[in-house]
Structure 1
Amino acid sequence: MGHRDVRTLPKAHLHLHFTGSMRHETLLELAARDGIVLPDGLAEDWPPQLSAADEKGWFRFQRLYDVARSVLRTHDDVRRLVLEAAQDDVADGGRWLEIQVDPSGYAGRFGGITAFTDLVLDCVRDAADRTGLGIAVVIAANRTRHPLDARTLARLAAQYADRGVIGFGLSNDERRGRTADFAPAFAIAERAGLLLAPHGGELRGPEHVATCLTQLRADRLGHGVRAAEDPELLARIVEAGVALEVCPVSNVALGVYSDLTSVPLPELIEAGATIALGADDPLLFGSRLAGQYATMRAAHDLDDATLAGLARSSFVASRAPAEVVARAMADIDAWLAAGPAMMPA
């Protein structure tokens, strides 16, 4: 029995970090240009062996991420990163991308958080025009920084709510800081009509998912996969229509699950959850958007109708314009109706 080509299945990509979207060859090229010596995990031993099971493991992950961020030196570097991320998503069947960025991580080199946000949005418009991919931005605060910094970023996101920013997030190690302390920042974003999409339910379990729902009023959860451990909580998520941005390859790379067959995607699907598969940080995990669908197909023996359901779900979870969603839904139906390609014997 053949399979349809997962790369031609229309998808929305809702969990992609800015620096983490960089192509590995671009990282190598920019580092060589400026004489930046990369750690082995970003050079000859790429993709790196990672784990976030303990603080040391997360520190190593964060260090690699910070080194990768440091190669972005010029406006053209940022423009290239966004364009290449868009091109890679289009090659994987992407129709809509919500890329997540923490402007404070780039503020020192690019003239402050407002100037950097302006630059990113300009690059997003350019990449969208050149590739045909719809792109929006989620501004994310860093939970290892002070909650007042998050409020500043929430106000920034609110200022751009009608200019390409559609959401507000909270990222980094979810075991750090007190989630409830970020509630005032999320209230600012909520008043501006922004999508609320904090990370939760990856490195911490269902109890933290519940905190994100009650304290941050999450519309969507970055990861959220460990809600599968609490059927009552999962039912609450489904009832509320809170979507889950599930990133299976990164879950395994960081040691949340031992292997891809352990990622509880079938349980989430069975419960009726709204799911959007995402690549998280392809630069560190070595797998892009279509790879998430391909690995889950292989790990759980998913049929093409189930993959099409996941793709539809990704658009339901998105803030894509109605016309983008309608066209994608029609094309997903056409993908399914076309029949599988026969594999050579």
Structure 2
Amino acid sequence: MKSIPKTELHLHLEGAAPPAFIAGLAKEKHADISGVFDERGHYAYDDFPHFLQVYEAATSVLKTPEDYARLVTAVTAELAEQGVVYAETFLSPDFCGGGDVSAWRDYVAAMQEAALAVEAQGGPILRGVVTCIRHFGPEKAKRAALCAAETMGDFVTGYGIAGNEMMGRPKDFAWSFDLAREAGLGLTAHAGEWGGPVSVKEAVEDLRVSRIGHGVRAIEDLALVDRLAEDGIVLEVCPGSNIALGLYPKWDRHPVCQLWERGVKVTVSTDDPPFFHTTLSGEYEQLNRAFGWDEEVFAGLNRVAAEAAFCDAATRERVLERLGAAAGQAA
């Protein structure tokens, strides 16, 4: 599956950090992050709330723009290994400069420089989607949206919300989404993972997003599924993440195939791959085993992702060309 050219729309930058990278950075900084890793050096957590705690503890060693530049280089190397030609990664000003616009600019500049260096060498094209953190509350979300609007450009192209879906309601964050929309940013929201189908409905109606992160619980309301299909709302589905966190017991019980068969625009991503012991190629392999999806299906999913990407028309054309050229070479 590595030979299939891929696009990925749902990837948290810190969550994609290889454990060895975080452990090495902690050692350099003499930082104590006890409890983050198990005896094999993997990220260790018990449930979703604990996952968030471990995630933030691991992130705590990323202190400077240079740290984030190094992280971009490490993550894009992993993406290249999986055959990814284009990816969007979630970035939070709360982790990069504490929500201060001036500090955030320095982080964005460092990450963009690293991403462009990778792209210039023929590596994956990377774009950033700024996210507010839901459990940090609406006021911090306003600062995140301002950071996104102030740095929108070739690298920062979208805005979204991540974090604990059970905290607050989508409408609480409408102000920040309105600001991001007025700035011209693409909009997405994590919903329909833990909050059920109503959270998807509220995100679409109250935040007016074009994409939903996860969204799989929509399957519990078939009228909503049909509405998503009719309105062309794109779901950033992360099956391995859902299974690792216990949302579904196994791959053949995951609703991604049902959603696809009902005409919903689905894409496949990894969310926080090292946390969930997955890769994008691994996701494809599991979907092939569970549902018989072949290269033609995956090519279609990747075209959907490319069309839904928060990038300019010229970049989209380049991505589609790379998808087509790579597919032709693989064939």
**Normalised by the size of structure 1, how large is the TM-score?**
0.87
Residue pair 1:107, 1:116 contacting (<8 A) in 2 also: yes
Q: Name the CA shift for 1:68/1:306 in 2 (closer, same or farther; >3 Å).
A: same
Q: Name the CA shift for 1:257/1:46 in 2 (closer, same or farther; >3 Å).
A: farther
1:330 CA drift (Å) = 4.7
Residue pair 2:10, 2:270 contacting (<8 A) in 1 also: yes
| 1:158 counterpart letter in structure 2 | A
1:83 CA drift (Å) = 0.9
Distance in structure 2 (CA, Å) of the matches to 1:91 and 1:318: 21
Residue pair 1:96, 1:320 contacting (<8 A) in 2 also: no
Query: 2:95 is matched with which residue?
Result: 105
**Structure 1 segment 120-199 matched on structure 2, within 5 A:** 120-131=108-119, 132=122, 133-199=124-190
Residue pair 2:130, 2:156 contacting (<8 A) in 1 also: yes
Q: Name the CA shift for 1:270/1:304 in 2 (closer, same or farther; >3 Å).
A: same
1:237 CA drift (Å) = 0.9
Query: 1:8 is matched with which residue?
Result: 3
* CA RMSD, 1 decimal: 2.2
1:322 aligns with 2:313: yes
Q: Name the CA shift for 1:321/1:92 in 2 (closer, same or farther; >3 Å).
A: farther
Q: Identity over aligned residues, as a percent?
A: 32
* CA displacement 1:220-245 (0-9 Å, x = unmatched): 00111121222211111111111100
**Structure 1 segment 151-300 matched on structure 2, within 5 A:** 151-300=142-291
Residue pair 2:132, 2:141 contacting (<8 A) in 1 also: yes
**Structure 1 segment 29-108 matched on structure 2, within 5 A:** 29-40=24-35, 42-48=37-43, 50=45, 57-108=47-98
Structure with the bigger RCO (C-alpha within 8 Å, sep 6+) is 1
1:304 CA drift (Å) = 1.8
| 2:55 counterpart letter in structure 1 | Y
Residue pair 2:37, 2:44 contacting (<8 A) in 1 also: no
Deviates more, 1:40-49 or 1:236-245: 40-49
| 2:4 counterpart letter in structure 1 | L
| 1:262 counterpart letter in structure 2 | R
SS in 1 for 2:135: coil
Aligned length: 328
1:23 CA drift (Å) = 1.1
Q: Name the CA shift for 1:148/1:75 in 2 (closer, same or farther; >3 Å).
A: closer
Q: Name the CA shift for 1:159/1:85 in 2 (closer, same or farther; >3 Å).
A: same
| 1:124 counterpart letter in structure 2 | Q
1:292 CA drift (Å) = 2.1
SS in 2 for 1:136: strand
**Normalised by the size of structure 2, how large is the TM-score?**
0.91
Distance in structure 1 (CA, Å) of the matches to 2:154 and 2:315: 18
In structure 1, stretches of 5+ residues that fail to align are 1-5, 52-56, 341-345
Deviates more, 1:192-201 or 1:88-97: 88-97
Deviates more, 1:39-48 or 1:157-166: 39-48
Distance in structure 1 (CA, Å) of the matches to 2:177 and 2:37: 34
Distance in structure 2 (CA, Å) of the matches to 1:178 and 1:335: 42
- Of 12, 17, 40, which aligns to 1:17? 12
Distance in structure 1 (CA, Å) of the matches to 2:328 and 2:155: 34
1:49 CA drift (Å) = 5.9
